[in-house]
Amino acid sequence: MQQNFFILYFYIYIQFYYPIIGLTNTFIENDTFLTSCSQMSENVISRCMEPILKYSNNIQKSSPKNAKWTLQSGHAFKELCTLYKKFQKCTSSITCQSLSKLGIEASYQYMCGDGYHIFEQHSKCFSEIETENTYLECKNNASNNMETILEWRYKDQLRYFSELCNIMENYLECCKPYVVNKCGKEAWELVSKITTDSLEVTMPNCNIKKALFV
């Protein structure tokens, strides 16, 4: 899914990635892991994910005027990274390949690792964007469009993912000029990196490079 860039990001995550994880937890092969996770392991991962998803949902639902969620105080940003570290510990015994686990890691690893100080640097500017009507219009349009495709989530997954990719691309195209103009190119590159990292795991066939390019 919070009054800054993290609403921008967590809105994407909660609305786009999390529903996908539940549908596409398929076999992923590399040199180390040759089997997908058992249902028991997936249940463990789901329980470990709950605190992050609950907190992200609360951020998404909070009012832009609610200072509790602003990153200017660092509260939300630090709390999310604390929850991510707990998730890592909670799933440390899981050695199989799980799309749910890989998706969370792809979404949080950079933000709470090498990119931590860069996110802190831009948090105030992101928080200002989140209160502007121009951004809220982008967000509301994406949310409304998401509602229209929910019927395809289980009926026709190929169509659902195709529509999902289009909505996400339009959402990012809509947000991009406001982020770049107000916060700078480096700030948008943060959006681009976490979006690309997550999509490589959750929706590898969704090409939104044009929307991310500046």
Sequence letter at residue 24:
T
- Check residue 60 and give its pLDDT: 62
Distance CA 129, CA 155 (A): 37
Mean pLDDT by 10 residues, the chain (214 residues): 45 50 43 65 92 78 47 64 94 89 86 87 80 85 86 84 90 91 91 86 87 89
Q: Two tokens at 91?
A: 């799933």
Quote the CA–CA distance of 113 and 109 in Å, as a whole number: 6
Cα–Cα distance list, 101 to 45, 105, 111 (Å) = 7, 6, 16
The set of residues, in sequence order, having a beta carbon less than 8 Å from that of 92 and lying 6+ positions away, is none
CB-side exposure of 17: number of CA atoms within 13 Å? 30
pLDDT at residue number 25: 43
3-state DSSP assignment of residue 28 = coil
The whole-angstrom separation of Cα 2 and Cα 127 is 8
The pLDDT, as a whole number, for residue 12 is 53
The count of C-alpha atoms lying within 13 angstroms of the C-alpha of 60, restricted to the half-sphere facing its C-beta, is: 19
Q: Would you mind telling me the total number of residues written for the chain in this entry?
A: 214
Q: Structure tokens of 69?
A: 């969620």
